[in-house]
Chains A and B, each alone.
Chain A
Amino acid sequence: MTGTRIPAIGLIDRGQKLSFRWQGETLTGFAGDTLASALLANGVRVVGRSFKYHRPRGIFAAGAEEPNAILDVWHNSQNDPNARATLVPLQDGMSARAISGWPSLNFDAFQGLDLLHRFLPAGFYYKTFMAPDWHRYEPNIRRMAGLGTAQKTPDTRHYETRHAQVDVLVIGAGPAGLAAARAAAAGGRSVMLVDENPQFGGSLLWGDATINGQIGTAWARDTTASLAASGAQLLPNTTAFAYYDQNTIGLMEHRSHAASGWAEDRLWSVLAAEVVLATGAIERPLVFPNNDRPGVMLASAVLRYLRQYGVLVGKSVVLTTNNDSAYETATALLAAGGQVAVADVRAEPGPVANAAQAAGARVYAGSVVLNTGGLGGIAWADIGPADATSQRNATSRIGCDIVASSGGWTPVVHLFSQSGGKLRWDETLSAFLPNTGRQAHQLAGSMAGWQSLAECLASGHKAGGSHGEAPVTAIARLPTPLQPYWHVPITGARQWLDLQNDVTVKDVGLAARENFQSVEHLKRYTTLGMATDQGKTSNVNGLAVMAELTGRTIPETGTTTFRMPYTPVSLGAMAGMRHGDLYAPKRQLPAQSEHDAAGALMREYGGWMRPACYPLPGETEAQAVQREARLVRTNGGLFDGSSLGKIEVFGADAAKFLNLIYYNEVANLKPGRLRYVLLLRETGIIYDDGVIARVAEDRYLLSPSSSHTAGVLAMLELWHQTEYPSMDVAFHDVTAAWATIAICGPRVRDILATLATDIDLSDAALPHMAMAHGRIMGIQARVARVSFTGERSYEISVTAGHGAALWRHLLAQGPTPYGIESLSILRGEKGYILIGTDTDGLTMPDDLGMSGPLRAKKVDFVGKRSLTTPDGARPDRRQFVGLLPEQPGFVPMVGTHAITDGPTRRSLGWITTAAHSPTLGRSFALGMIEGGRAHMGETVTLFDRGKTSRATICSPVFHDVEGAKLHG
């Protein structure tokens, strides 16, 4: 094992030791470490097994581009099943495991697959596991591939969603981003600065830099402090993962150190007048044979682990490069006591290489790594000419424990591309750069193609509006140009392009030969650039190989679309607080406490928590419902109808307007009277039913069904605003202002007699379908005679705050409280429909036998024209009827079909309501049957899941057909 801490280097807090577990073993790190840097410091080499060939893999990078170190991390009993170790701040007590490797990381039962690699080409899974069905193989293939497993227990972390608006949002707090934020703040604009790392400074944290005479890290720290003092919002540990329309940016903020009770993760939606993209660049690897061994890393990662975390990942390092940037790694390693050899594909590496050579590095010009070897890691690397066609062309074998490479830099153009910006290929940098943008943003730093620190600072200062003094740094000498080099021209050996998906140069060759040459096909066929890292280190190399194999230029070959999110966003953060009780908050009845006291079984109906029934001790729900449905008719019932809608409609044109909306005539309704009405869509389909009361000449009170109140109000507004805007009418939803308690049944008049009221409740003053206003027990109240059970019934409404008291008083008089499930039997016995249960998206009024208004009402109303279309007049429309099962004890399931008899069975319709009626002493059903009204008295066959039975078609009114009880 290698990997050592170098004293006095790094930004970690050596005074604060942290204990963590890796594969069950206890290790230590320091505050300021990432999980990756701590693992490397402890000499951990293998962190996972590869996706396809199950080869051992180690930490490759130091940032968001890490393809290998995807770990199962637990902290505070909470799990992140696919955490990128390079982005996880180390915390005391943290526990991490590899997500792949079975039975263990060092012995993978499937590692034999690697020997079969010749038979596992690109597209192998697509070609092999087709018959009979991919889904049969998928679970096993997924298990072999190794992905994290979600925790089985609830996620107790707090998530929040936040919204913000700023003048300038700066994304990336490297030198360019800091310079931009500083200038923007100096210009008096509100600034938000975000960075995915815990510390601001970007490359200054590991680069060798002097700004305004200060060490780079000190300048970054002071600039951050002065930004905070100026009121800028600073969000470290925050990834800008998406760039939406209108300069809206999605941010994912991780706050692992958040104070107790705060949200750990926050999802931000930020609307910025201007965005500064200072997202930096990601180093891409050089591609060479056996470049996937644990110990093969990016040159910049080796530098970063050393300078930022004080971790010397290897004592002897072979670097291979096609550009100057690897030499900063070389000199830093030498300074820390390491040994360094550099294989540079350029014939004349230039002055930077000469300086490294003078400092003690062995530099091999015109060379590249041709092979690596070692057991479970790296023991040696072969170096040979860059144009070698065989591994036998190697000229030197160098003992080493790390091979690090640099193939140039890939600007992080993801957000720019997401914003609708177009890219161009830059030959000098061998990279895609932003070309034309579509939204209000400025580009700064290396993402815009600037290479030197001076240029990055200058571009940042300009992007921030050039306010204040520009930060100054020494102008670096001009770099020796990069030499494009995409892979070693050897055909036999495996050279990896995409470490996360196990895609090699050979796989791209196969895709090219099989004509998957478009870049989108290449991606899907080989899986190059898929999965959680989205090809951050592999896309350009893969594209270049495809270009070379098909004889095209890279821009001709194209680049894949950059999709959001930049790095994965947890589902918990997406949900935010919208889960559990807050997912869709339920409305509560004003007398909720009384229902609880009465032992109600509460259930959600249309967004309201309402009593289903009131079981007595030892009673089942079914028993309670039967008892309640029986006692309401023999004793008397008490029902909380507060959730029924109450919409006030007023204005000089109220009558005229409502008459244009409702199916039924409502303009001739006399003040103080009620009418049952239907409301149609313009398509003639029934949307809602309800009761409408005329309170005064210019005032109505609508009572839509509980779950349709908001919809009815919206519909009234739509018609008023768009079709009849000149009418003098207005609407007001007062549902929540009133509690409505209904009493009904044989004893109802005795109960009414106990109410001290100034309202005349006599039948002469208050007949069925009438309403009166006054005071009950001193409280403002109204009483309506309307019945949902078929019994003589009174709905008493009082202001919501008095609902519980009214319920208590009425309950004390002895009626049976009943819930929705019991009401369903009671209204079913009377053939009263329930919209959405007995009707569906095809039901028109005549289907319910309510064709009177269409014939009688002269004015146009919503949906009228649709009722006379050929479809509305079809003779075989399904009609609402009753159905009596032949077996009186058999309750058919709702949804049971009625079918034709004979060899070719066909559905005639279905059952919409069915129950056992305690009053009838038998089962009954309601349903929609094709031409049903013409078949009264006939029997049909019911069919449910293979079983048949018989039922007789009959009137839907089973109880008190004459309606005498309404007045009894």
Chain B
Amino acid sequence: MLNIPCPHCGPRSEYEFQFGGEPATRPIPASEVSDAQWSDYLYARTNIKGRNRELWCHSGGCGQWFLMERDTVTHEIFRTETIGSGTIGA
């Protein structure tokens, strides 16, 4: 049971959160994207073993989606931030 620091509410129990997977950038305009690019956007994830960036939602609290940098092996949480603040990952 992890304690996850919601960027809006502070540290809260893992039970209150929902995992959203690796964020994927939606290719636009979609109508001009190749089938292969679209398929990558839908299904291809890096699935990194180690330090990774993920989308999470504080669904049992403020309801806000945010970004989290986390180690998928040790479960260490390095930081979380609101979407658009642009320091996690690139």
Chain A residues packing against B (C-beta within 8 Å): 163, 244-246, 248, 269, 271, 420, 682-683, 714, 717-718, 721-723, 725, 860, 864-866, 869-870
Contact = CB atoms under 8 A, between A and B. Distances in A.
B31 A163 contact: no
A271 B15 CA distance: 14
B42 A866 contact: yes
The 5 closest A-B pairs by CB, nearest first: A865-B30, A721-B65, A245-B75, A248-B1, A865-B38
B3 A246 contact: yes
B14 to A, nearest CB: 9
Contacts of A163: 13
Given A714-B59, A866-B42, A725 B83 contact: yes
B26 A721 contact: no
B51 to A, nearest CB: 16
Contacts of B63: 717
Given A245-B75, A718-B65, 18 more contacts: A244-B1, A245-B2, A246-B75, A248-B2, A248-B3, A269-B1, A420-B74, A717-B63, A717-B65, A718-B20, A718-B57, A721-B64, A721-B83, A722-B55, A860-B28, A860-B29, A864-B31, A865-B33
A391 to B, nearest CB: 52
A682 B25 CA distance: 13
A166 to B, nearest CB: 14
Contacts of B2: 245-246, 248
Contacts of A866: 38, 42
A860 B55 contact: no
Contacts of B84: 725
Contacts of B23: 722
Nearest to B37: A865
A866 B39 CA distance: 9
Interface string B1-27: 111000000000100001010010010
B81 to A, nearest CB: 13
A864 B42 CA distance: 13
5 contacts: A248-B2, A714-B18, A722-B65, A864-B31, A865-B38
Contacts of B76: 245
Interface residues of B, number: 28
Interface string B71-90: 00011100000011000000
Contacts of A721: 64-65, 83
Given A860-B28, A864-B30, A870 B65 contact: no
Interface of B: 1-3, 13, 18, 20, 23, 26, 28-31, 33, 35, 38-39, 42, 55, 57, 59, 63-65, 74-76, 83-84
A714 B64 CA distance: 10
A682 B42 contact: yes
B64 to A, nearest CB: 7
A723 B42 contact: no
A119 to B, nearest CB: 46
> Counting chain B CB atoms within 10 Å of each CB, which of A683, A718, A721 scores highest?
A721
A244 B42 CA distance: 34
A888 B83 CA distance: 59
B22 to A, nearest CB: 12
A723 B20 contact: no
B7 to A, nearest CB: 12
Contacts of A723: 26
A866 B40 CA distance: 12
B13 to A, nearest CB: 7
A682 B39 CA distance: 11
Contacts of A269: 1
A865 B31 contact: yes
Contacts of B20: 718
Nearest to B23: A722
Contact of B83 (A682, A683, A714, A722): A722
A723 B35 CA distance: 21
A248 B15 CA distance: 14
Contacts of B3: 246, 248, 271
A244 B64 CA distance: 27
Nearest to B84: A725
A779 to B, nearest CB: 31
Contacts of A725: 83-84
Nearest to A684: B42
B5 to A, nearest CB: 11
B32 to A, nearest CB: 9
Contacts of B57: 714, 717-718
Contacts of B33: 865
Nearest to B29: A860
A582 to B, nearest CB: 16
A866 B35 CA distance: 8
Nearest to A714: B59
A663 B59 CA distance: 26
A860 B20 CA distance: 23
Contact of A869 (B28, B31, B35, B83): B35
A725 B39 CA distance: 24
Contacts of B74: 245, 420
A717 B83 CA distance: 13
A587 to B, nearest CB: 17
Contacts of B18: 714
* A246, A248, A271, A682: most-surrounded residue (chain B CB, <10 A): A246
Contacts of B39: 869
A865 B26 CA distance: 11
A244 B20 CA distance: 23
A722 to B, nearest CB: 6
A714 B63 CA distance: 9
B78 to A, nearest CB: 13
A869 B63 CA distance: 33
Contacts of A870: 35
A730 to B, nearest CB: 11
A576 B39 CA distance: 43
Nearest to A248: B1
Nearest to A865: B30
A569 to B, nearest CB: 15
A723 B41 CA distance: 14
B15 to A, nearest CB: 9
Contacts of A244: 1
A721 B18 CA distance: 15
Contacts of A714: 18, 57, 59
Contacts of B31: 860, 864-865
Nearest to A682: B42
A860 B30 contact: yes
A864 B29 CA distance: 11
